Structure 1
Amino acid sequence: MTSARPASLPAARLLDTVLDRTVAPGYTRLGLAVRRRLPTWPADPAAGALAGRVAAVTGASSGLGIATAEQLARLGAEVRLVVRDTEKGEGVRRELAERVPGATFVVDRCDVGDLDDVRRAATDLAAALGDRPLDVLVHNAGAMPPERTTSAQGHELSMAVHVLGPVLLTDLLRERLAASERGARVVLVTSGGMYAQKLRADDPEFEQGDYSPTTAYARSKRAQVELAPVLAERWRPASVAVMHPGWADTPGVAESLPGFHKLTGRVLRDSDEGADTTTWLAATEPAPPTGLLWHDRRPRPTSLLPTTRTTDPDRARLWAWVRGATGL
């Protein structure tokens, strides 16, 4: 038995790669079920891995955000639910407190797409933490408006919510993240849909051509992935990861992609399955390599086609736009 396990590792790695490259069924709950049975599946975080730690989760009032908050709390973390609607957030807090007895959940208000509100929220959160560090920051908030919409500062909303707001919020909390004794973890939740789009550093605000909500969403997620190495360097010593959850059955998917949801509903991952890798990245020891894209607990390529590969000049151009838009 002990000699058979190492011999099976190459086959397991090959199967994992095939599942990843073929997308379906790799992104479904079937792909996750297969991977969990492979000898290459990493161990779960230890019980109590986040005891005494503080974690903040944006978009924590539905779907993957709620699942992530609950999983982090079950590992011992105090979880701050960063939400736009505090009334809804309080309802979630009460539900989570019943499901995870003894855990601490706190609601913080922040409209991640509004950079002025991000600055206010960062100040309030830092004050609430006092001398305590912020050990985990999960950027889960998402948006897919049906038509081109702009933020309070005039930025295309998908880019504002998925890129500008998360970058600014993290940058403003760098001192609290750097204070983490074990090394803070920053996780940005992206989407496998980004594989269909190349980086549009020449048009980050989607001002050219006919606007498509799914394309805008995927472009902003591509931007998250391509900025990961830059952000990892900027936010050291925190570990930075971008992960995509596969195809998960969330309220956002059901509302924004009803046709896709109807077609794939039976094989979509539930929220707990979709949040699994986020929680693993936040809690596993030692810290995972920084600046990479992850799916099902393994680093993945950022492009599957030559036409979507990003050049260093394009990445630098996008970063220059982000810095200008956020005032970093």
Structure 2
Amino acid sequence: MRTQRLSSFIDTALDKTVAPGYTKIGWAVRRRLPGWPADPTPGSLRGQVAIVTGATSGLGLATAEGLAALGATVHLMVRDTDKAEGVMAGIRDRVPGADLHAVRCDIGDLGDVRRCATELLDRLDRVDVLVHNAGAMPPERTESPQGHELTMSLHVLGPVLLTELLLPLLAGGRTIMVTSGGMYGQRLRDDDPEYRNGEYSPTTAYARSKRGQVELLPVLADRWHAREVQVTATHPGWADTPGVVDSLPTFHRITGPLLRSAAQGADTTVWLAATGGDGSSGTFWHDRRRRDTHLLARTRTGAVERDRFWAWTAAALDLDPVESP
């Protein structure tokens, strides 16, 4: 009992102090603590179908490879299928016999999401795991083809719409949002979801959209419960990915030696996809543990704000805010 309490204390301390817990130090310490959840059983995803968005580099590539190594048939949902062919060849070199397919889709373009979903409904008879990993941090305010602020369209609207459209295939399956610890510094901006007010900041926009992902978890869990679709979110800590290099060069230069590998950052996503964690839906995870969604009192969200944000999301996607399809 004392060992368990000490393990829990160390884990919590790493989480609350942020920097050590998010780096590869936190990863190395946690996985050696008593009670670290067991790895997925080899072959545990054999016969299952997975989709990973944004799978040509970084966390998405590591996730696709991790799922393939567990036996899943993995569809890499990407904007550039030519690039995906090279990525898949590399995965097959490292995971002989991997069953991989490329699917073209721009998650930030809601029209393209609808087109792609129609194609998948025709091609597939099931989807067991859907990982929403695609992400971007444009340097200035950018709009999607439908006129939505791009990070919100890419991280919130596109993933919700894709899941809604694929629900007939996802019954009994799992959908996972790959979010960011950066959301801890932002409150839900239900009053300005399109970031039309104030001076635009790429990092703030990114964190706001990731906060939006997390705040919708309980709403989506209730909405998709009848289909027995589990929805969770993970954050990878600080991982060394091309996105970090391109979007946060100073941060990368300073923290580079401490950053996790992409595989370490994707570990909890792969683990949740294979095991379901503790079976709960609407929950937020980091390093194979459920985590609080708020660290600061000023970011806490009430039901009114969450409901208003969901109403905006549903209206933007032309969804019935009460009844799921």
Normalised TM-score (structure 2): 0.96
Residue aligning to 2:234: 243
Name 2:322's counterpart in structure 1: none
Q: State yes or no: 1:54 paired with 2:25.
A: no
Deviation per residue, 1:107-158 (Å, 9 max, x gap): 00000000000000001111110xx310000000001000000000000000
Residue identity in the other structure for 1:116: G
Contact 1:45–1:285 (Cα < 8 Å) also in 2? no
**Residues 137/270 of structure 1: CA separation in 2 closer, same or farther (3 Å cut):** same
- Select which of 292, 304, 317 maps to 1:313: 304
Residue-by-residue CA offset, 1:61-81 (whole Å, 9 max, x unaligned): 110001000000110100000
1:26 is paired with a residue of what secondary structure? helix
Q: Secondary structure at the residue paired with 1:266?
A: helix
Specify which of 123, 140, 144 is matched with residue 118 of structure 2: 123
Conservation of the 8 A alpha-carbon contact between 2:277 and 2:288: no
1:213 aligns with 2:202: yes
Distance of 1:204 and 1:144 partners within structure 2: 16
The equivalent of 2:283 in structure 1 is 292
- Post-superposition offset of 1:286: 6.3
1:305 CA drift (Å): 1.0
State the distance in 2 between where 1:13 and 1:40 align. Answer: 9
Distance 2:263 2:276 in 1: 21
Supply the distance in 1 between the matched residues of 2:28 and 2:114 (Cα, whole angstroms). 41
Q: Which residue of 2 aligns with 1:41?
A: 36
1:9–1:39 contact (8 Å) kept in structure 2: yes
What is the Cα deviation at residue 285 of structure 1? 5.3
Match of 1:254 among 245, 258, 270: 245
- Which of 194, 215, 231 is 2:220 aligned to? 231
Quote how far apart the aligned CAs of 1:161 are: 0.3
3-state SS of 2:89 partner: helix
Select 2:142's aligned residue among 141, 149, 166.
Answer: 149
Distance in 1, Cα, partners of 2:277 & 2:266: 20
Q: Return the offset for 1:99.
A: 1.6
How far apart are residue 240 of structure 1 and its match?
A: 0.7
Partners of 2:126 and 2:296 in 1: CA distance: 40
- Structure 2 gap segments, 5+ residues each: 320-325
**More divergent stretch after superposition (106-115 vs 119-128):** 119-128
In 2, Cα distance between the equivalents of 1:165 and 1:91? 25
Question: Does 2:101 correspond to 1:110?
Answer: no
SS in 1 for 2:76: strand
Where has structure 1 moved over 3 Å in runs of 4 or more? none
Between the aligned partners of 1:314 and 1:272, the Cα distance in structure 2 is 35
- Percent identity over the alignment is 63
In 2, the alpha carbon distance for the partners of 1:286 and 1:275 equals 15
Task: Tell me the distance in 1 between the aligned counterparts of 2:56 and 2:307.
Answer: 34
- TM-score if structure 1 supplies the norm length? 0.95
1:186 is paired with a residue whose SS is strand
Q: Distance in 1 between matches of 2:8 and 2:230?
A: 25
The answer to whether 1:268 aligns with 2:259 is yes
Matched, 1:278 2:278: no
Give unpaired runs (5+ residues) of structure 1. Answer: 1-5
User: Alpha-carbon deviation of 1:40?
Assistant: 2.2
CA distance in 2, matches of 1:87, 1:28: 33
Whole-angstrom distance in 2 between the partners of 1:322 and 1:227: 10
Change (3 A) 1:223 1:286: closer
For 1:20-67, what per-residue CA distance to the aligned partner results, in whole angstroms no more than 9, with x for missing partners?
000010000000100000112111111111010000000001100010
1:302 to 278, 290, 293: 293
* RMSD after superposition: 0.9
Number of equivalenced pairs: 317
- Pick from 164, 171, 188 the counterpart of residue 177 of structure 2: 188
